[in-house]
Structure 1
Amino acid sequence: MLKKLSYILLVVLCTLISFSFQIYVSTSSFDANSVKRYIEYLSSDTLKGRLAGTIENDLTAIYLKNEFEKINLKPYKDSYFQKFDTVYPYKTKDRPYLTITDSQGFLVKEYKYGVDYKEDLLNFKKNNLSFTKKDKLLWSNEHLQIQKDNNNFLFYTPESDKLNFRSSFINSSPFSMYIMTTKNTITELKSYLKEDYTINCFIPFETKKISLNNVTAYIEGKDASAPPIILSAHFDHIGSDLAGNVYTGALDNASGTAFLLELSKYVQSLGKPERNILFVGFNAEEFGCLGSKAFVDEYKHSIKGSKVINFDMIGSNKPVPLYIMGGSKDTEKTALIKETSEICSKNKVTFNYLFEDASDHEYFRKQGIDAITLSDSDTSRIHTPSDKSEFISSDSIERCFNVVSKSIIKYGFKDNWLLIYYREVFWTSLIGIIIFLGVNKKTT
């Protein structure tokens, strides 16, 4: 009887080693260094900050499409591109200026771009104005608001008196143009206004209509009618300023895009999932999550019941937790948030919560679709020229993968434990077989 049980054990071990070995050799290992190489390219000066509407943004979209093709992902709804229309800030070839002129129109002073003042990207419904104390003005120590010709303009001093931060472009913003100035500059402007001088400002950006593309691909599942899993990241950023400084956006969000590309290789290698798994590169997140809104608006009936995991700022080298970000009306008990937090706890991943409509999960949640964003939420360098690939950490990338890989197997592969523990199963089975053969040899 004991001999019979031992041979049954051997058969089980051989079966396990066979299945685990197949997974071992077919599964593509997730490589954090590969993610970093993707980040280095996506955040290089070559792509000039990937501002939606620019040639460099188009090149980024084509790059993602080509990478998805290399990985053998299929085009979603027969196309790798999903088009939508919006407006974007178009940079003209003119020169910016902020000047003071007297009552005769003679130049009194010209301020230096990038030193005394600089545009904020927020809006360009108008890109020039001239005003005096006779116009409608509202001011405080750190800002000057002008109402003129049915437009509102804002001059303001940013935090720490630095002009290197650049906001997202939000065309629905209430002001027609935003200008950052140093404290000294805004104080001088107010003094000149009191003396009846004219202030003139021009920023060579204007809004133009444009068609943009999301990049969409998928792995076909066994049940194509089931709600898909959606894995996503936005690939756009905020471009470059008028002095040629590139806002490379390594953490925000070349990191999430690079993570998505490497993750797609891993998921593709796992075999056919139970349901479709979509990989989406969203555009115009920096314009108010317009790409994800367009995606949800067009496909909301096809994706109802989906699980959405979005990646935004993955790879901080600061000691920050992994944030599980839900919508503003979510709580710790919201289903997908609770399930993700349990995975974090089980795998000893330090995490925290954010409940904000501040990334591409927003419009999914507004349609009642389960969606979260995983983020390191390190804002120390974002939207400045200092957000570079040299500050990306492999450990943070691995941490996110440790969580999301479990979620993908849970939702896409019916929690197949062998996909999670195939390495452990392979080596345990191999050692068990060796021990069995050794013991059996001694007894014969």
Structure 2
Amino acid sequence: MRKLNVIIVGLLCAFTSIGQSIHKIITVKEVERIERYLASDELAGRKPFTPGIELAAKFISEEFAKNKLKTWADSKTYLQTFQVYKPSLKSIKATLNGEVVDSKKVVLIGKEPKTTIDEHSAYAQASIKKGENFFQSAYKYIAGKTPSVVWVDQDFAALFARLSNRNVLRESQVNVLFILSEKLDSYQIEVEQDITPLPLSNVVALIPGKSLANEYVIFSGHYDHLGIMPNRAVQGDSIYNGANDDAAGTTGMMMLAKYFKKWNKNERTLVFAAFTAEESGGFGASYFSEQFDPQSVKAMFNLEMIGTESKWGKNSAYITGFDKTDMGAILQKNLAGTAFSFHPDPYPDQNLFYRSDNATLARLGVPAHTISTSKMDSEPNYHKPSDQIETLDLENMTEIIKSIALSAQSIISGKDTPSRVDTSQLK
């Protein structure tokens, strides 16, 4: 315990050099207050389209207002509301090379009530071949802007049906037709479905910059989770509270907003975003990213699961896509002399750089990275009802938030500008 106290004292000495007394603003007590409410049973797992997530959005908005942050684009509310669409399949007919085939071999991702696609339709042709990452490849087409017919190798038959689970579609969704077959010259697919529009809301606030007001630095976390899942109850508990995933990241983002508002030295405009629907397709982050010219966004700090110790122990975290830009090196430089350290993502095989809410802007060249401590190879509470506040190390989480505040200083002041992601190298 004495060694840990010495480490914390060392960190606090470094933090006070920023100006405001950071340890009086970002406190364990305050972190626990926010985290405990976001992960409470009252919010019932914060699933989109439920009262629980609406309560969470109200709470985050009230905290932004309490700290006197501005709304986005002079809005009267911190809510950034947009429409998504829920399709309900009524019928599907599939003919390949003149033969009627099982409709389960076809999945249409699209929001048109009636659709007919054949070899004469103006659709791009693509394929997902054996050996590819199936869902990563499929998402590339789903998130694209080109209507496409995608031929899927039979090797993915067991995974193919899961494409139909994508039951929420974005406003800009184009038709993407997946066919479990080798590419054929003749085909006709007829789909009829009911389409229901539904509202979703990010919660967004900002602190205007001084000399570089048109340059943005984003701090984010997703505030949704899985909700109540009776069919996946564990020992009678069916509420998936999502304390670490990602009430922890959202709490961190909110604490940074409070701190930087009092710090009041940001030359660049700071944007604080609580994203919705990350767990169901990243819809919140996708909509949010469309509001920016990517060149104007100089950095993005996405906080995801920071409530537990990393594989290196306390006072450490990792940065996804560390080698994609020099942002990680800048953050490490700014932490020189402290006991805290950032590391490259130790789980490259899990492709985390493209799996969180930083990915949309990163694909546009923005140095957008996720900061996390989650041990993805051995996280015992990931997507389980046991992901509750009692499993978190709130003292360590508080130090992580302070270290992010310190490491971001030179970027938000305009002294440092991270290099851009080389989009030609993106998969």
TM-score after normalising by structure 2: 0.61
- Distance of 1:25 and 1:299 partners within structure 2: 33
SS in 1 for 2:264: coil
**Equivalent residues of 2:332, 2:341 under 8 A apart:** no
Cα deviation for residue 69 of structure 1 reads: 0.6
**Equivalent residues of 2:244, 2:305 under 8 A apart:** yes
Runs of at least 5 residues in structure 2 that lack an aligned partner in the other structure: 1-15, 91-100, 108-138, 143-158, 166-193, 417-427
| Pair 1:84-2:72 in alignment | no
**Equivalent residues of 2:242, 2:383 under 8 A apart:** yes
- What is the identity percentage for the equivalent residue pairs of Structure 1 and Structure 2? 26
- Distance of 2:310 and 2:324 partners within structure 1: 28
Structure 2 CA distance for partners of 1:22 and 1:216, relative to 1, 3 Å: closer
- Distance of 2:41 and 2:27 partners within structure 1: 24
Counterpart residue number, 2:366: 369
Counterpart residue number, 1:232: 220
Structure 2 CA distance for partners of 1:53 and 1:367, relative to 1, 3 Å: same
Cα deviation for residue 28 of structure 1 reads: 4.9
Question: Which of 342, 354, 357 is the aligned partner of 2:354?
Answer: 357
- Distance of 1:27 and 1:72 partners within structure 2: 20
Counterpart residue number, 1:191: none
SS in 2 for 1:337: helix
TM-score after normalising by structure 1: 0.59
Rg bigger for which structure?
Answer: 1
Counterpart residue number, 1:270: 263
Instruction: Please list the CA deviations of residues 28-56 of structure 1 after superposition, one character each: whole Å capped at 9, or x if unmatched.
Output: 52112211221111111111111112221
| Pair 1:306-2:298 in alignment | yes
Cα deviation for residue 364 of structure 1 reads: 1.1
- Distance of 1:370 and 1:24 partners within structure 2: 27
Write the mapping of 1:413-428 to structure 2, written as runs, cut at 5 A. Answer: 413=413
Structure 2 CA distance for partners of 1:386 and 1:75, relative to 1, 3 Å: same
**Equivalent residues of 2:381, 2:387 under 8 A apart:** yes
SS in 2 for 1:228: strand
Counterpart residue number, 1:385: 385
Runs of at least 5 residues in structure 1 that lack an aligned partner in the other structure: 1-19, 89-123, 128-146, 154-169, 179-205, 417-444
- Distance of 1:395 and 1:324 partners within structure 2: 18
- Distance of 1:78 and 1:308 partners within structure 2: 22
Number of equivalent positions: 296
- Distance of 1:345 and 1:152 partners within structure 2: 55
**Equivalent residues of 1:218, 1:278 under 8 A apart:** yes
- Distance of 2:402 and 2:20 partners within structure 1: 17
Cα deviation for residue 304 of structure 1 reads: 2.1
Question: Which of 49, 52, 62 is the aligned partner of 2:48?
Answer: 52
Structure 2 CA distance for partners of 1:240 and 1:22, relative to 1, 3 Å: closer
Amino acid aligned to 2:71: P
SS in 2 for 1:276: strand
**Equivalent residues of 1:212, 1:283 under 8 A apart:** yes
Structure 2 CA distance for partners of 1:211 and 1:21, relative to 1, 3 Å: closer
SS in 1 for 2:323: coil
Write the mapping of 1:194-209 to structure 2, written as runs, cut at 5 A. Answer: 209=197
- Distance of 2:323 and 2:212 partners within structure 1: 31
- Distance of 1:280 and 1:333 partners within structure 2: 23
**Equivalent residues of 1:28, 1:266 under 8 A apart:** no
Amino acid aligned to 1:212: L
Counterpart residue number, 2:161: 175
- Distance of 1:335 and 1:372 partners within structure 2: 11
Write the mapping of 1:178-257 to structure 2, written as runs, cut at 5 A. Answer: 209-223=197-211, 225-242=213-230, 245-257=238-250
- Distance of 1:292 and 1:308 partners within structure 2: 12
Cα deviation for residue 348 of structure 1 reads: 3.3
- Distance of 1:292 and 1:286 partners within structure 2: 11
Amino acid aligned to 2:34: Y
Amino acid aligned to 1:72: K
Cα deviation for residue 342 of structure 1 reads: 3.4
Question: Which of 279, 282, 304 is the aligned partner of 1:289?
Answer: 282
